[in-house]
Amino acid sequence: MAPELLRVNDAGVGEHVCRNSAYQDHVTSGITIETYCKPVFKPYTIRCGYNTRCTRYRTVYHLGYRKRYVTYTSQQTSQPAVDRNGETRYKCCMGWKQANGRSNHCSIPTCTPECQNGGLCVSPDHCACRRGWSGRLCADDVNECEHDYHGCSQICKNTNGTYQCGCYEGFALTADTRTCQVCISCSSEFQSLAARVELVERELGEMKKNQTLYNSFQIPAAVLPVVPVTSTTAASVPLPSNHLVLNDQHISQIERIQSLSEQISMLEERLEGCTCRNQRNQRTQYRRQPNNGFR
């Protein structure tokens, strides 16, 4: 958009104000001689069979000349524009604009295109960029990780306009988001061991439930009545109502529970072994010193 004309006297012209001169297009035309690369097909022969020769062509280029009709357009400056009152009209110089419509000077610089990523236009077509950006329009990202001022103790990850610090496996960022410290629970070995311990504890809980169920089926032999069984009394002598009758299904369940009870003891021993190894690994991890090859 063209700047609004400033109607002021010569004595009131402010900074970055130019006279509004009129322009006229001046058109010229004529014939010019120009050079170009002219292709020429040059024949040559090759052997292509027994006592036979074939003709082939290769393209070579020679310098050629040709006439061309051209038209040139240029601008010529005429006298400054004058309004009806005889005052010379002014406008903001290129790259500047008025702070407001009543101002006699142009103090606001303009940038075309506009500054990007929060940049500030400080002079015509020149932007002052925020940290992390560079270039005339502040469109180029600065890779802070290529310099030493990023402050990351281990890993630097560049992002658009900024950067982030990271740590090797077994370390974690502190509150300053730059320094790394040892983190036992962050290592893959610790997480794998913790998952195994959780699985063993879950299996142990299931085994204890089965042990309780097994104990509920145990019947003291002293309370079972001794009744002679004959062909005539087997079906006629009932057992007390508070006693269980063990059939094949119950016996099968009892045998299975006995097997599970043995597995409980084995899992408890495994759990104690995992706990001891976990404590040893923690002591080893705390003594480990970070280095560039830590994984």
226 part of a folded domain? no
Q: What angle do CA 153, 194, 257 make, to 5 degrees?
A: 175
Q: Are residues 256 and 293 in the same domain?
A: yes
Count of beta carbons in the 10 Å neighbourhood of residue 115: 22
Nearest CA-CA partner of 164 in 152, 176, 174: 152
User: Does 65 fall in a domain?
Assistant: no
What average pLDDT does the segment 243-253 reach?
Answer: 56
Euclidean distance between CA atoms 267 and 257, whole angstroms: 15
Q: Is the domain of 163 the same as that of 187?
A: no
Q: At 63, list the tokens.
A: 């310098």
Least-confidence region, from 123-127, 190-194, 222-226: 222-226
Residue 287 belongs to some domain of the structure? yes
* Predicted local distance difference test score (pLDDT) of residue 88: 59
How do residues 116-140 score in pLDDT, each as one tens digit?
Answer: 999 999 888 889 998 888 888 898 8
Mean per-residue pLDDT of the chain: 72
Is 175 among the domain residues?
yes
| 161 and 255 together in one domain | no
- Residues 260, 251: Cα–Cα separation, whole Å: 14
User: Is the model's pLDDT at 242 over the cut of 70?
Assistant: no
Q: What is the mean pLDDT of residues 49-70?
A: 80
Are both 171 and 260 inside the same structural domain?
no
Whether 214 and 170 share a structural domain? no
Contact 87, 59 (CB under 8 A): no
Asked if residue 191 and residue 176 are part of one domain, the reply reads no
Asked if the structure places residue 174 within a domain, the reply is yes
Tally of domains within the chain: 2
For residues 263 and 213, state if they share a domain: yes
Q: Which domain holds residue 292?
A: 183-218+247-295
**pLDDT attached to residue 284:** 55
Sign of the Cα torsion 227, 229, 232, 237 reads positive
